[in-house]
Amino acid sequence: MPRTPAPPAQDFVPFATAALDFHRALNLPAGPLVASRDELDALHAHLVSLHGLLDAHTSRTGPLVPVEGDHLHGARTRIWQAADHIHSAYHSSPRPGSGELPTREACRPGLPEGAPELTICQRHQRTARLVRRHSTPADLRAPFTGQIRH
């Protein structure tokens, strides 16, 4: 197995980064603004996708360069933690129309609000199963200190 990657056919990560910057510039005016449930759902989907990309890099890099793999593992864990916070923020935001605040436990039985409103919960639970396979509870609960272990 080569230690350096072949050049990618097309590198889409810079386009995703530019799209996020463009979205922020166009859709988030200066001043206070409550994040909508649609926005939080889209951010959660983005973070879960980024988690998948980091997971692929971690599993491929770790056996070849353990120190780099360990850093990627840490980044993957932090991205999951960010997705978990976005999921919590979604459940803290008011429902459209009624303004009612749902509880975090509301997503556990399935789709209490009906599809597609809680597809975020399905995505979150599907990814959580994968996260538990690759991370220990201590990994997921540890605060980030910025200390280097190598």
The domains of the chain are located at: 35-141
pLDDT at residue 19, as a whole number = 92
Tell me which residue of 16, 18, 21, 79 sits closest to 51, measured CA to CA: 79
Distance between CA 45 and CA 65 in Å, rounded?
Answer: 29
The alpha carbon dihedral of 72, 74, 80, 82 has a sign of negative
pLDDT at residue 107, as a whole number = 56
pLDDT at residue 104, as a whole number = 58
The CA-CA-CA angle for residues 104, 106, 112, to 5°, reads: 145
Show pLDDT as tens, one digit a residue, over the chain (150 residues). 556 666 766 788 889 999 999 988 888 877 777 788 889 999 999 999 999 999 999 999 999 999 999 999 999 999 999 999 998 888 888 777 777 776 656 655 554 555 556 788 889 989 999 898 887 777 777 766 555 555
pTM of the model: 0.78
> Tell me, what DSSP letter sits at residue 118?
T
pLDDT at residue 34, as a whole number = 78
88, 128 in Cβ contact below 8 A?
Answer: no
Tell me which residue of 90, 78, 77 sits closest to 34, measured CA to CA: 90
Tell me which residue of 133, 132, 134, 109 sits closest to 122, measured CA to CA: 109
Residue type, 68: E
First-residue to last-residue Cα distance in the chain: 25
pLDDT at residue 133, as a whole number = 85
